[in-house]
Structure 1
Amino acid sequence: MKMQSLKKTRLVLLLTLICLMSCSLHADARGITGRAKHIILFVGDGMQLEHEIATSRYLFGKDDGLSFHGLWYKGNVATWDVTTYNKYAGTLSTSPYAPTGFDPLVGYDPAKGGKKPYPLQSTGFDDSYFLTKINGKIPATDSASAATAWSTGHKTDDGNIAWLPSDPADGALKTIAELLREEKGFAIGVVSTVPFSHATPAAFVSHNVTRNDYHGIAREIIRTVQPEVVIGGGYPGPSGTNKMQYLAQGEYDYLKFDSNSPYVFVERTELADGSVKLFEGALEAVSEGKKLFGLFGGPDGNFESPVPWDFPETPLVTRATIENPLLADATQAALKVLSADPDGFFLMVEQGDIDWANHANDFHRMIGTTWDLHKAVQAAIDFVNRPGDNMDWSNTLMIVTADHSNSYMRLSESMKLGAGDLPQQVAGGSCPYDPTKTCFNYPAGEVTYSTGDHTNELVMLYAQGAFQSPLLHKYEGSWYPCTRILDNTQLYHFMTTAAGVPTTSALKPSIRRPVPCRDFN
């Protein structure tokens, strides 16, 4: 009897082990069942993990309740660019950046900055590493060079749009959108709450030595690259009352009046619901086999940010105006058009106003804009999960990340904000880190800021879908030994490989490998 009982116990243990192994393999297999025919990249511009946590606490009373917090893969990414690298190299008396032989630990040093972003790692790093200015500015990437890393796999200088560092005449780089259109017939699209000719969207569908050449960037997007979907800010206002800052009059007239334009053109209209107008435009574009261009925004070119309200235990976020679409609605309109292409699509969606909120140390606006991203990601998840079409997680890849951190914001754990809670926010005071500047202040101390600039902190990466798990694990720590950190340039190769167009990196780092690795995590 004892022998039979022992055999039964062993059998149960064996079956349990097989089940656990099967379940584990199945969890990984979710990401390798097929080629990614649909790639959706979400960007929270200037979003660090503390901003995510703050928004999740406001909405749900917990740290990990945002839509993208539930995606299968979670990791962290180093974001430095060539300009950042060279600033650090100068202080270390080492050689400036070159695409072969550079040391990634000059761009980001986990021994000084940590192996994980705050607060996943809350000790063992040096605040001064992130906050000490070099040549008058905190070392950190800008949005143009960060987006170029994703879109081309190259590191470049601050301000460059899909262009090699040092601005050679032949320095234009083919972007992932162009590559996948050329090799796989993908439809391509960009969506942003900031002007469509701004750094992040521009780096996927244009090329320029300066992000400030808005007219040149807009001209290339509208006349040459002609993505299947462009939705963003930059609306010049009725009769150009907001000025033609982000596109020239000729491009505006071409979109609005020229019958040769390939676009269904939708623009901000007084008292009209921008979400409704945009979706109607998407339906028209699909039915007529045309492309979609949505031009919105306010006097500064950006969408007016959603507004959170201070209602303890009852969180509420409302639209600042109905005339601009919410990012979720813009995402749905883009997906409606792009998913009509049987060959597949690439879509980049940016919530660009998170960055503006953090530059101003504006906690309330940061909550509203991060909520906007949260809702957009949920809309895309729901779109993929719809039954009755050819999209599912076996052929769709979704990524959510940030281009850089901003503000070095920290939440007080002793005065923890709950669902629906917003801190008292006082405008017009001097910045605690720079008395010569004015910014929002928080007298009760629930939140603190240490800068109004970008920082070189790690950012989060979330992913789900085709080819997700094995490929990302391959990159973890390959540039930053004894960590699980990925580099932002590796996301380009991750996406191209997932789409069935594997690319070889032009970057050849010189890797320092401590032996043995201690405290690996």
Structure 2
Amino acid sequence: MARLLTVVCLFVLSCCVSGRSIYKNSGQKFDEKNKDHWNIQAQWFLSTKVAMPLNTKRAKNVIMFLGDGMSITTLAATRVYLGQRYGHLGEELKLSFEAFPYTGLAKTYCVDHNVADSACSGTAYLAGVKANSGTVGLSAAVKRGDCKTQQEGIHSVTGLMDWAQKAGKGTGIVTTTRVTHASPAAAYAHSADRKWEADSDLPKKGTHCDDIAMQLVRGRVGSHIDVVLGGGRRNFFPKTQRDMEGYRGYRSDGYDLIREWLMKKEILGSSPKFVYNRQTFMNLDTERYNSVLGLFSPDHMPYHLEAGLDDPTLSEMTQKAIQILSKKKNGYFLFVEGGRIDTAHHETKARKALDETAEFAKAVEAALRLVNIEETLVVVTSDHSHTMTYSGYSKRGTDILGLTNKMNASDHLPYTTLNYANGPGHKYDVNNTRYNLIMDDFSNSNYTYPSLVPMGRETHGGEDVAVFARGPWAHLFTGNYEQNYLPHAIAYAACIGSGLTACQAKL
């Protein structure tokens, strides 16, 4: 319980730490109805901004946190969700990374679509090039599904993972989705279709393409990643074989890619270890093993609200990855994805989406406790938005996941504070009128929140996403910019890649 309270206090930084201390020093009472409350708060925030020095040191380490589908609306609702769990009103609080000193906005569209998916956006924020929807690690010269052009290789693009490896840095991927899913795949793979995660997903006729799991084990970039943690174990086992937990594999080519990964790492001179459960993972000797593949589920990892004792949390995976990579004398690049924010939104399960965002914020805080922020650049962002809205004029303290307390809809029926523009939560009553929500159980984590347009799966949104930065050259991430700017700015700070870097600028 003490640990939970500590975490919450870290999340509510402006209240538990800075806010209370300035009130104590000023002799004023923490009271939102008092005008001095707002003046003191604003003056304190201003003073911290004015006193903030620019850090222009070389970033030895870089951690990029990606909340998949983490819209600004999701952030605002998660503050309230988290705060209300611990007796606060909620709106006044901050998630861990919202206290970062520098913030910007990234434009997320694909070359061929105005609303991004996780593949084209992943190629942008990891490889620095905008791409077509559904394609990973390829320029927009390649259309989705064009296996022949993928295999030609002339349109392949690499980014932060490759640049870091060439600079002698350690590299790692942590995700709550399959490690072959679109976001992590963009770090190491080149695929004309994000769905080609295993060979069983490939077209049956025509040119043969390497699937994404194969590229993780055999690819030039993928095979040199030091730490890979997440789900998706089935994509590495043949259909004729069951894994260590009894789940059947998905590959048709008969390859056991986990065994191959272990053998290849040993040939490369590493000390590799494969783990599949939390107990083995948490007891892992990080001094003995410098290359770790952790696949904790045959598919995506379970939602935090449904996870068992044998499922490591995003925070635990992040901490272990940092402990392993911190042994690299030249530093490291680590990509951490809270991927199940997105899947919960697609199902319009708002409670799960907010809880996954809270877990994501905990992972950022866990990382900050382990790194030297003077030499570590931490960037937190999202790949795209979702269609969830936050509305209704409710009074402060109203349950963010419940009904508004203003019964002012023109049909005199209640409505929820959080709604979706489209998705599976669309319902009609028997009289073809709007469904009456009054008896619905909003405490159920699988409750599908109302949506306007009926769809089997909710879509992404097209608005900009927030970027938060702290550490060396974090001030480069302010303003409004294309999403593909992010890896170029990171490379500048870390002196990696072939573009302009801070090291060149200082010569």
TM-score by length of 2: 0.69
C-alpha distance in 1 between matches for 2:70 and 2:319: 22
**Aligned pair 1:357/2:344, yes or no?**
yes
Aligned letter for 2:90?
K
Aligned letter for 1:177?
M
**Aligned pair 1:218/2:201, yes or no?**
no
Q: Which consecutive unaligned segments of at least 5 residues does structure 1 have?
A: 1-19, 85-138, 308-318, 385-391, 425-430, 477-484, 506-521
**Aligned pair 1:144/2:119, yes or no?**
yes
Aligned letter for 2:328?
D
Report sequence identity in percent. 25
**Which gives a bigger RCO, structure 1 or 2 (Cα 8 Å, sep 6+)?**
1
1:378 positional shift: 0.7
Q: Partner residue of 2:280?
A: 277
Q: Which residue of 350, 354, 362 maps to 1:367?
A: 354
**Aligned pair 1:203/2:211, yes or no?**
no
Rate the CA distance shift 1:333–1:434 in 2: closer, same or farther, 3 A.
Answer: closer
The 3-state SS of whatever aligns with 1:303 is coil
Q: Which residue of 361, 372, 379 maps to 1:399?
A: 379
Q: Which residue of 458, 480, 490 maps to 2:485?
A: 490
The 3-state SS of whatever aligns with 2:342 is helix
C-alpha distance in 2 between matches for 1:163 and 1:248: 28
Aligned Cα root-mean-square deviation (Å): 3.3
Q: Which residue of 309, 329, 336 maps to 1:322?
A: 309
1:55 positional shift: 1.4
Deviation by residue 1:467-509 (Cα, 9 ceiling, x = unmatched): 111x234xx3xxxxxxxx221111011100001236549xxxx
- Asked if the contact 1:35/1:394 (under 8 Å) is kept, the reply is no
Q: Partner residue of 1:57?
A: 80
Aligned letter for 1:278?
F
Q: Partner residue of 1:264?
A: 272
C-alpha distance in 2 between matches for 1:247 and 1:70: 49
Q: Partner residue of 1:160?
A: 135
Deviation by residue 1:253-281 (Cα, 9 ceiling, x = unmatched): 33468884746334334xxxx1x422333
Q: Which moved more, 1:452-461 or 1:406-415?
A: 406-415
Q: Partner residue of 1:39?
A: 62
- Asked if the contact 1:214/1:247 (under 8 Å) is kept, the reply is no
Aligned counterparts, 1:79-478, within 5 A = 79-84=108-113, 139-167=114-142, 168=149, 169=152, 170-182=154-166, 184-215=167-198, 216-224=211-219, 225-226=222-223, 227-236=225-234, 237-238=243-244, 241-244=247-250, 249-255=255-261, 260=266, 262=270, 264-269=272-277, 274=278, 276-281=279-284, 283=285, 286-288=286-288, 290-297=290-297, 301-307=299-305, 320-384=307-371, 392-414=372-394, 422-423=401-402, 437=424, 443=437, 449-450=451-452, 452-469=458-475, 471-473=476-478, 476=479
Rate the CA distance shift 1:46–1:248 in 2: closer, same or farther, 3 A.
Answer: farther
C-alpha distance in 1 between matches for 2:370 and 2:496: 25
The 3-state SS of whatever aligns with 1:214 is coil
1:413 positional shift: 3.4
The 3-state SS of whatever aligns with 2:215 is helix
Rate the CA distance shift 1:22–1:52 in 2: closer, same or farther, 3 A.
Answer: closer
TM-score by length of 1: 0.67
Aligned counterparts, 1:18-37, within 5 A = 26-29=51-54, 31-32=55-56, 34-37=57-60
The 3-state SS of whatever aligns with 2:337 is strand
Rate the CA distance shift 1:155–1:464 in 2: closer, same or farther, 3 A.
Answer: same
- Asked if the contact 2:344/2:353 (under 8 Å) is kept, the reply is yes
1:450 positional shift: 4.9
Q: Which consecutive unaligned segments of at least 5 residues does structure 2 have?
A: 1-44, 84-88, 143-148, 199-210, 235-242, 404-418, 428-434, 443-448, 501-507
- Asked if the contact 2:110/2:120 (under 8 Å) is kept, the reply is yes
- Asked if the contact 2:271/2:289 (under 8 Å) is kept, the reply is no
**Aligned pair 1:67/2:67, yes or no?**
no
Aligned letter for 1:455?
G
C-alpha distance in 2 between matches for 1:151 and 1:432: 29
Aligned letter for 1:324?
D
C-alpha distance in 1 between matches for 2:60 and 2:264: 33
**Aligned pair 1:499/2:474, yes or no?**
no
The alignment covers a number of residue pairs equal to 384
Deviation by residue 1:211-262 (Cα, 9 ceiling, x = unmatched): 1121221112123332011001112354662532699742033346888474
1:382 positional shift: 0.9
Aligned letter for 1:354?
I
Aligned letter for 2:467?
L
Aligned letter for 1:472?
F
Aligned letter for 1:189?
G
1:377 positional shift: 0.6
